[in-house]
Amino acid sequence: MYIADLHIHSRYSRATSRECTPVSLDMWARRKGIHLAGTGDFTHPEWRKELKECLKPAEDGLYVLKEDQAVKDNITPDLFAPRFVVTGEISTIYKKNGKVRKVHSLIILPGLEQAEKVSAKLENIGNLHSDGRPILGLDCRDLAEIILDICPEAVYVPAHIWTPHFSLFGAFSGFDTLEECFEDMSPYIHALETGLSSDPPMNWRISALDRYQLISNSDAHSPAKLGREASILDCEMSYSGLERALQTGEGLYGTIEFFPEEGKYHFDGHRKCGLCIKPSETEKYGGICPVCGRRITIGVFHRVEELADREEGYVPENPPVFESLMPLEEVIGSAMGKTPASRSVERKYMEMIERLGPEFHILRTVPEEDIERHFGNLIAEGIRRLRNGRVELVPGFDGEYGKVKLFKPYELQALDGQTDFFSLIGDVSAEEKEEAAAVPEKQKETGKEEKRREFVLNREQQEAVASISRYTAVIAGPGTGKTATLAARVLYLMETRRVKPSEITAVTFTNRAASELRERIGRELGKRASLGNMTVGTFHSICMELMRKSKVKFFLADEEEALEIAAEASQRTGTGIDPHRLRSLVSYVKSQDRTGDESMWEAFDEKGEALKVAGAEYSRIMEERGLWDFDDILINTLMLMEEGALSAGSFSYLLVDEFQDINPLQYRLIKMWNRKGRELFLIGDPDQSIYGFRGSDPQCFKKAAEDFKEMKIIRLRENYRSTPSVINAALKVINGNPGEERALNASCEKEDCPVRLVKAAGHMGEAIFTAKEINAMAGGIGMLDAQHVMESRDRKKVRSFDDIAVLCRTRRQGELVEKCLRQEGIPYIAAGREAFLRHEKVKGTIAFMEYLDDPENLHAMKRALSFIWGLEDSTASRRVIDEASDRYASVFRRKRADKFMEMWMKETDSEKTEEMIRLRNMAVFYESCGAFLKELLTGVESDLRRAGGRDIKAGAVRIMTLHGAKGLEFPAVIIPGVREGLIPLKREGSAVDTAEERRLFYVGMTRAEEELILVSGGEESEFVSDIKDGLLTREKAPGGKKPPQGEQMSFL
């Protein structure tokens, strides 16, 4: 028979002791009398490396400390060498069934080799380097499947199943049944860790747990805390023996328990107010603290009461043995009238270990007379009382540890040696607590499920959808159901007016918006009808499809290649113009549909002549190489349509989304497509026109009304997205622009809270606060975080990571935020066209994919040869790329994009190239290589996404620019950089378009559904002054001080 403690942590976990090393864990296991200890933290690469260096194989699947590593002293018992088994804890935070779930799981593996394999898979999903207990935005059901697929012999144990914040049955973020959590993986779960605030009798009250093995462990964060709880095993000392005991109960003799009352979440209560109450009293007060009016923290006992289907005191037949103990230091401290941490208690503890043996031996089996003979009657009496259960229990609550008392103060004043005195004292019962003060009125319930509004239209939306006007313009403010109205309009045309899908074209601003529109319409149609040949896409994708149908061949220079050519043009002409500026201005001139107007160049600045020369050289190089840039696609489509060389397309019913962001070139295309059409439907919002640098004009609706005299104009003002505070604050900002007073009506029933303006210390301070705040929004990603957060955020809704977006004015800001999220271990997805796409291997990979997609694209072939193989075009070099093409052609057609990338990275020896890793992390979003390539070539900023890891099952925070956030919405939005010089953005040598910057900030603010946080690391933005104080709360970001770490008591 032996004692096992399987749930512990290394020094690589947060809030753990530096002493959590293999050597110290071995030493304290011997002092405690623990024969088998978990390694903890197997997912952390540095800890695995340390384990390999310090441990050697012992029995099947177990390890032992190498002889030259063990501590040799006169205190630590040397009766046995503790064994280690590979274990680790994984924290998962995700949304399921409409609720944020936070669950911890204990994983037990048969060896370090299996730990490597499991970790390699999990590395694709989240950050394993920042915390020994990694945080993954992954469903527990999926985590179980991943682990058991890789290692069928693994044991998956839901950890401390009753802890309020992070557990299977936790009051705040858990489930009511194991099956709800694990679904079809439920049959593979056989053991449950009861945790420190519950004991077997509490768990026996739930009949659904009868079939599971109940085990106990310490969850120690320092070596001296080992064995606070443990399991007693009567089986072979091997992994197979352990697995059998945990999976079947064969060999699981019993458990050593903490007194559940000593756990810090046993009773209900509110620590700040000193309120500790029973579940019945919590019900009486409606869950609200009668002292301060805030939410009461629900304890384990309350949660057990909620799920129990048996009365308190129920005992099953042949129950497993369990013993309730307290640490020896606490017994000694009680007997000496000292705190357990005092020097005198520590000395006495070491003396007892040296003379009597390990701690569990002393507490459980050493004869009391031997203890009395060597260490006096008070310590002996304390252990006698502990063994007999004669203790006074003061329950823990709301993060406050409970207390186990062995003596009354007056008893310690009795003369030493009066042992008969103690025999006269009966069992001590806990004192009854006084009833709390009068209860305030029960507060309004929140968190109701919002009703789905898709295709449930208000009067103005119905008017827009059913319009039969030749020209209809819908001015749709943020959150007013623009996409739903557009989708409903298509459905109305198809189902009510019986328009053929092939006669309908819907133009969207992004590829993602096109996909979303198709999905919405298809979802509503179901099996009633098909979208058929309806055209849905961006201007560029529609033009490219028209070219394809008419067999017009062209080669596209993506944005990165266009920048290369701009740099070459600048160099050839000796003008020294920045390539980004030249490329941007060339695009602007083309978008204005004025390429032949030389005066356009002179209007920019004093370098007008140089710009004109460099721009002409850019165009000449493009033509020389037979390439088009994005603008050329539209220009040439117009030209070929005017010449009758292109298919006329299907433009009888033309719908244009985000009309406010079109430029003159696109407007000319609209008029061309609509020339023989029947109806034109435009929808957008002038106040969300944010692409002036690309030629868009907020006056576009006014221009359209002048061109189409009989145009019907409809305004949508009912906002179904945001709370009143968000809407009113945003309106204050946008009304600073010229024009009539804007109006939006808040029509959602979400709980309202003011917009927050947080003052931080500089750029990095903004990013650090953002990461810490996301931690808080998710309810804390560690148990100590959670305890601190529950107080600081009061009753604000707990968010899943994918509820949260960080919207930045510049990409540099996004990089800082990304760095801080990585440090916090928070999963994220970054959006935008990033600098890594200009890396040679990345450009070469994209070119190779283009060549695989179209073997006639010789330009792509040459680029791939140059960037990947460093070769010029020749007969010999073509053999090289053709051999590679033969190997990868079927892979490109049949495999997912990320699988293609993994194979290709191995082929090109770029598995450790950071830029290629980032490209692979973009590929995870695409089912096919063709879809990935299309996005790389034609996707706008919000189309391009990159995961923080290789797997996207995890829920993740979104990081994007304010421009990239257009058209999206999130329950919680953080905007860092709301300071002078950044919002509005002021660049040296460039005029500030304050009106457009104000519109951009308005767009960012109105992405928020419920919670909006503005962060300023300097002088506040001038736009903030427009927001009245009643709509805005000001606060300061926490400084260098860390949040309270909490004291870790024994037997947690």
Q: What is the pLDDT of residues 634-671, one digit of tens each?
A: 999 999 998 888 877 789 999 999 999 999 999 999 99
902-943 pLDDT, tens digit each = 999 999 999 999 999 999 999 999 999 999 999 999 888 888
Is the same domain home to 877 and 820? no
624 pLDDT above the threshold of 60: yes
Q: What rounded mean pLDDT belongs to the chain?
A: 88
More confident residue, 932 or 751: 932
How many angstroms separate the Cα of 1000 from the Cα of each of 618, 709, 831, 997, 1006? 31, 30, 17, 5, 10
Is the same domain home to 664 and 544? yes
Cα separation, 353 vs 290, whole angstroms: 48
Lowest mean pLDDT among 322-326, 477-481, 1045-1049: 1045-1049
The model's confidence at residue 432, banded by pLDDT at 50, 70 and 90, is: very low
788 pLDDT above the threshold of 60: no
Q: Report CA torsion sign: 220, 223, 225, 231.
A: positive
Q: What is the mean pLDDT of residues 307-317?
A: 93
The residue among 410, 370, 268, 255 whose CA lies nearest residue 319 is 255
The residues, ordered by sequence, that sit 6+ positions from 424 with a Cβ below 8 Å of its Cβ are none
451 pLDDT above the threshold of 60: no
Cα separation, 882 vs 876, whole angstroms: 10
Is the same domain home to 541 and 651? yes
Strands 392-394 and 403-405: antiparallel
The model's confidence at residue 77, banded by pLDDT at 50, 70 and 90, is: confident
The residues, ordered by sequence, that sit 6+ positions from 121 with a Cβ below 8 Å of its Cβ are 146, 150
User: Strand pairing partners for 94?
Assistant: 101
1051 pLDDT above the threshold of 70: no
Is the same domain home to 794 and 871? no
Domain at 159, CATH number: 3.20.20.140
What is the pLDDT at residue 226?
97
Q: What is the mean pLDDT of residues 957-982?
A: 95
Positions of E strands within 776-934: 804-808, 828-831
The model's confidence at residue 258, banded by pLDDT at 50, 70 and 90, is: confident
Asked if the structure places residue 437 within a domain, the reply is no
The structure tokens 């006495």 sit at 348
Domain boundary among 230, 258, 286: 258
Residues annotated in a binding site: 476-483
DSSP state at residue 1030: G
Domain boundary among 596, 628, 660: 628
DSSP state at residue 291: T
Is the same domain home to 104 and 186? yes
The residue among 170, 48, 51 whose CA lies nearest residue 105 is 170
Give residue 673's identity as a one-letter amino acid code: W
Cα separation, 194 vs 333, whole angstroms: 27
Is the same domain home to 547 and 620? no
Is the same domain home to 197 and 77? yes
Q: What is the mean pLDDT of residues 59-83?
A: 88
Residues annotated in a binding site for ATP: 476-483
Asked if the structure places residue 856 within a domain, the reply is yes
Structural domain of residue 220, as residue ranges?
A: 2-258
Cα separation, 518 vs 990, whole angstroms: 40
Cα separation, 230 vs 146, whole angstroms: 28
316 pLDDT above the threshold of 70: yes
Is the same domain home to 922 and 902? yes
The structure tokens 């037990």 sit at 108
Q: What is the mean pLDDT of residues 211-237?
A: 96
430 pLDDT above the threshold of 60: no
Domain count, the chain: 6
* Residue 367 burial by Cβ neighbours in a 10 Å radius (0-12, 13-18, 19+): exposed
Asked if the structure places residue 1045 within a domain, the reply is no
Asked if the structure places residue 682 within a domain, the reply is yes
Asked if the structure places residue 322 within a domain, the reply is no
527 pLDDT above the threshold of 70: no
Q: Are 300 and 280 in contact (CB under 8 A)?
A: no
Q: Are 59 and 238 in contact (CB under 8 A)?
A: yes
Name the pTM for this structure. Answer: 0.77
The model's confidence at residue 126, banded by pLDDT at 50, 70 and 90, is: confident
The residues, ordered by sequence, that sit 6+ positions from 380 with a Cβ below 8 Å of its Cβ are 368, 369, 371, 372
Cα separation, 330 vs 314, whole angstroms: 30
The residue among 201, 190, 205 whose CA lies nearest residue 308 is 205
* Residue 990 burial by Cβ neighbours in a 10 Å radius (0-12, 13-18, 19+): exposed
Residue-level length of the chain: 1052
127-156 pLDDT, tens digit each = 898 899 999 989 999 999 999 999 999 999
Cα separation, 841 vs 846, whole angstroms: 9
Residue ranges of the alpha helices (H) in 298-412?
A: 300-307, 328-336, 343-356, 359-364, 368-375, 377-388
Cβ-based neighbour number of residue 317 at 10 Å: 4
431 pLDDT above the threshold of 50: no
Asked if the structure places residue 436 within a domain, the reply is no
949 pLDDT above the threshold of 80: no
Domain boundary among 202, 237, 258: 258
Asked if the structure places residue 1049 within a domain, the reply is no
Domain at 545, CATH number: 3.40.50.300
Is the same domain home to 408 and 488? no
420 pLDDT above the threshold of 50: no
List the structure tokens of 672.
């061309």
Is the same domain home to 156 and 237? yes
What is the pLDDT at residue 987?
85
Give residue 483's identity as a one-letter amino acid code: T
Is the same domain home to 30 and 147? yes
434 pLDDT above the threshold of 70: no
Q: What is the mean pLDDT of residues 77-89?
A: 92
The residues, ordered by sequence, that sit 6+ positions from 172 with a Cβ below 8 Å of its Cβ are 102, 164, 165, 298, 779, 790, 798
The residue among 249, 293, 278, 246 whose CA lies nearest residue 87 is 246
List the structure tokens of 591.
């978008």
What is the pLDDT at residue 455?
59
Is the same domain home to 42 and 179? yes
Asked if the structure places residue 803 within a domain, the reply is yes
What is the pLDDT at residue 782?
58
